[in-house]
Amino acid sequence: MNNRAALLNEIRALEFALIETNLFLDGNPDPDAIAYFENTRRALAAKKQEYETTFGPLVAENGVMNGRWAWTDSPWPWECEAN
Amino acid sequence: MFIYEKKLEYPVKIKNPNPALAKVIISQLGGPHGELGAATRYLQQRYAMPDNRIIGILTDVGTEELGHIEMVSAILYQLTRNLSEEEIRRSGFDTYFVDHTTGVYPQAASGVPFSTMTLAVTGDVFADIHEDLAAEQKARMTYDNILRLADDPDVKDPIRFLRAREVVHYQRFGDALRIAQDKAADKTNFYLYNPAFDPACRR
């Protein structure tokens, strides 16, 4: 596994925890879950920033990389090379 | 509105194309229990819902399902790469290929195109939530059947992830049902009013 895929998997793991907690909080606004959500959100934001600085944008809003439009660069998520 | 994030929720990395398997898995894109129907059903049910927590569950599960449309589509895309005409003929993929080549078109494994008849947006809180609980079980069942038919670990891994999400979504719709029952005007008869329509029990 290359560095890009490894970092993307770290992002996926944190985002998965965030999605799972989000769905739980919608129906169960538990204080421990809120604290866990906030900690996970901060860790995820840091990882995403690291990824986007090194490998390119995850959202179109961050599509400019070193003055160049990098949003439309390959690979797209459904390609093997992206995973 | 929706903002696209350029990654899959869970990785899909399939080494060996297998058009016969794609012909089966396509049901979880455009079949009666597929991800396209799930995403659209939940997002379209939100407008009639009288409780913010239930609206939140429908919004967030529906949004995750949009990501699952992309995951199933990625599986189909990777299973149908670099096919020879001989492979297409031999695998039985020819009946799909003739209309769609290797484009990713939402249809059931039987060939029936995606139908909004599977959506079920009734505008009735209890009918819709029960529909969603059943939909998650039907999707879980379809993934179980796909796992019975698939023998490639590269395919089974993301399918197992998707199957597990159906179980979690079922639990979250259980939260939605509990919330709706707790709020019902008459605890001995949940169906006395439709809280999405009859003003007597709106809060």
| Mean pLDDT of all residues belonging to chain B | 95
pTM above 0.90, yes or no: yes
State what percent of residues in chain B have pLDDT above 70: 98
Q: pLDDT tens, A16-66? A: 999 999 999 999 999 999 999 999 999 999 999 999 999 999 999 999 999
Residue B15 carries which DSSP code? S
State what percent of residues in chain B have pLDDT above 90: 89
Q: pLDDT tens, B121-132? A: 999 999 999 999
Q: pLDDT tens, B143-175? A: 999 999 999 999 999 999 999 999 999 999 999
Q: pLDDT tens, B71-111? A: 999 999 999 999 999 999 999 999 999 999 999 999 999 99
Residue with tokens 């390959």: A74
Residue with tokens 């009946």: B95
Contacts A27 to B, Cβ<8 Å: 53, 56-57, 172, 175-176, 178-179
Handedness of CA B93, B99, B103, B106 (dihedral sign): negative
Pick from B5, B12, B172: CB nearest A58: B5
Task: Check residue B187 and give its pLDDT.
Answer: 83
Instruction: Count interface pairs A-B at CB distance under 8 A.
Output: 78
Whether residue A37 contacts residue A22, with contact meaning beta carbons closer than 8 Å, is answered with yes
Task: Check residue B37 and give its pLDDT.
Answer: 98
String of b and e for B135-167 (b: at least 16 CB within 10 Å)?
A: bbebbbebbeebeeebeeebbeebbebbbebbe
What is the band of A1 on the pLDDT scale with cuts at 50, 70, 90?
A: low
User: Phi/psi class of residue A58: alpha, beta or left (left: φ > 0; alpha: ψ in -120 to 50)?
Assistant: alpha
Task: Check residue B144 and give its pLDDT.
Answer: 98
Task: Check residue B195 and give its pLDDT.
Answer: 84
State how far the Cα of B21 lies from the Cα of B109, in Å rounded to an integer. 10
Q: Which domains does chain B have, with CATH numbers?
A: 19-196 (1.20.1260.10)
Task: Check residue B201 and give its pLDDT.
Answer: 52
Do A9 and B12 make contact, defined as CB atoms within 8 angstroms? no
Domain boundaries, chain A: 3-82
Whether residue B45 contacts residue B39, with contact meaning beta carbons closer than 8 Å, is answered with no
Do A27 and B4 make contact, defined as CB atoms within 8 angstroms? no
Task: Check residue A19 and give its pLDDT.
Answer: 98
Kindly state the average pLDDT of the residues B53-77.
98
Peptide bond into A77 cis (omega under 30): no
Please give, one letter per residue, the 3-state secondary structure of B96-136.
HHHHHCCCCCCECCCCCECCHHHCCCCCCHHHHHHHHHHHH
Q: At B172, list the tokens.
A: 């979250």
ipTM for this prediction = 0.96
Closest Cα of chain A to B85: distance in Å?
22
Residue B47 pLDDT exceeds 80: yes
State how far the Cα of B198 lies from the Cα of B200, in Å rounded to an integer. 6
